Amino acid sequence: MKKLFTLLMLVGIFSAVAQTTLFSDDFNAEVPDATTFTNWTSYDVDGDGQFWEVTDIQSYIDSNATAMNMSGLCADSDSWEGDAFDPDNYLIMMNPVSITGDNPTLTFTVGTYQTSGLYIGDKYSVYITESNDLSDVMAATPIYTGLLSDVMTADAADGSASTYVHTFDLSAYDGMDIYVSFRHFDCPDENSVLIDDLSITAENVGIEDIAALGFNSYPNPVNDVLNLKAEQAITSVTINNVLGQKVIDLSPNALQTAIDLSDLSKGIYMVNVTIGENSGSYKIVKE
| Domain span holding position 190 | 20-203
- Same structural domain, 219 and 165: no
- Same structural domain, 14 and 27: no
- Same structural domain, 138 and 229: no
- Same structural domain, 195 and 136: yes
Q: What is the CATH number of the domain that holds 115?
A: 2.60.120.200
Domain boundary among 203, 221, 253: 203
Domain boundary among 181, 203, 225: 203
- Gap between the Cα atoms of 37 and 182, Å rounded: 14
- Same structural domain, 6 and 139: no
Q: What is the CATH number of the domain that holds 9?
A: 2.60.40.3080
Extract the residue ranges of the chain whose pLDDT is less than 70.
1-20, 204-209
Q: 4: exposed, middle or buried (C-beta count within 10 Å: 0-12, 13-18, 19+)?
A: exposed
pTM score over 0.75: no
- Across the chain, mean pLDDT equals 90
> DSSP per residue over 75-114, as a string?
EEEESBSSSB---EEEEEESS-EE--SEEEEEEEEEE-S-
Confidence at residue 226, expressed as pLDDT on a 0 to 100 scale: 96
β-strand partners of 178? 97
Q: Which ranges of 132-248 does DSSP label H, i.e. alpha helix? A: 134-139, 148-151, 207-211
Domain boundary among 168, 203, 238: 203
Confidence at residue 13, expressed as pLDDT on a 0 to 100 scale: 40
User: What pLDDT digit, counting tens, does each position of 110-161 carry?
Assistant: 999 999 999 999 999 999 999 999 999 999 999 999 999 999 999 999 999 9
Domains held by the chain: number: 2
Confidence at residue 211, expressed as pLDDT on a 0 to 100 scale: 75
- Same structural domain, 49 and 99: yes
Confidence at residue 143, expressed as pLDDT on a 0 to 100 scale: 98
Confidence at residue 17, expressed as pLDDT on a 0 to 100 scale: 42
- Same structural domain, 103 and 14: no
